[in-house]
Amino acid sequence: QKEVEQDPGPLSVPEGAIVSLNCTYSNSAFQYFMWYRQYSRKGPELLMYTYSSGNKEDGRFTAQVDKSSKYISLFIRDSQPSDSATYLCAFNAGGTSYGKLTFGQGTILTVHP
Amino acid sequence: GAVVSQHPSWVICKSGTSVKIECRSLDFQATTMFWYRQFPKQSLMLMATSNEGSKATYEQGVEKDKFLINHASLTLSTLTVTSAHPEDSSFYICSARDRLGTDTQYFGPGTRLTVL
């Protein structure tokens, strides 16, 4: 079983739609949960960072973590064509491995006008 | 926000040559930098953790003699791909940990290496 499972998509939605991106994980040691956005041929950009179960909102983005189910989600409201990118979930166990990130496969999102 | 740069952004080299990639944190100090490799349509795979002033820690399966990492200062880490071969062609991305600020990782823009 992979440590992280992420639906690679691709996902295509019309402008203004609500987008839901999901990852499941199996490593109980993961304590920190992140979402990154990566445009083609660019490095990942941190979107959301959280370490507790529940929801965290930042503008049009909401990150949701359910530690009991080992499931995290990223919701994008009022999606825009500029949101078209690959979205990566990432996890870290903290402690001595603090900073070492385990990434999901990435979901390719296209928002069309 | 924190900025991490990489140089070069792309490089083409002949098989058997060595290539050096630089990673710099421009506006913060990074005691730890990380090197990742990303193949087309795949996710990032951590290659090694680079700590300033000490030897890098390599992930399982990564040859330390082939991928030489030096982290000589708080703002610079280098990755040298020695005796490069076509299978080393990939997108190499570094990240730097902002130890004094948010303690999160910021990624560089990546270096695309093509070995002919």
Q: Do B110 and A99 touch (CB under 8 A)?
A: no
Q: Which residues of B touch A (CB under 8 A)?
A: 4, 6, 32, 34, 41-46, 49, 91, 93, 95, 97, 104-110, 112
Residue B2's pLDDT is: 77
pLDDT tens, position by position, for chain A (113 residues)? Answer: 788 999 878 999 999 999 999 999 999 999 889 999 999 888 899 899 888 899 999 999 999 999 999 999 999 999 999 999 999 999 988 766 667 889 999 999 999 99
- Give the tens place of pLDDT for each residue, B39-56: 887 888 999 998 888 889
Residue type, B11: V
- Mean pLDDT over B12-37 rounds to 93
Concatenated DSSP letters for chain A? Answer: --SEEE----EEEETT--EEEEEEE--TT--EEEEEEE-TTS--EEEEEE-SSEEEEETTEEEEEETTTTEEEEEESS--GGG-EEEEEEEE--GGGTT--EE---EEEEEE-
The sign of the dihedral angle between the CA atoms of B27, B33, B38, B41 is negative
A99 touching chain B per CB within 8 A: yes
A-B Cβ pairs (cutoff 8 Å, strict): 49
How far apart are the C-alpha atoms of B50 and B33, rounded to whole Å?
Answer: 5
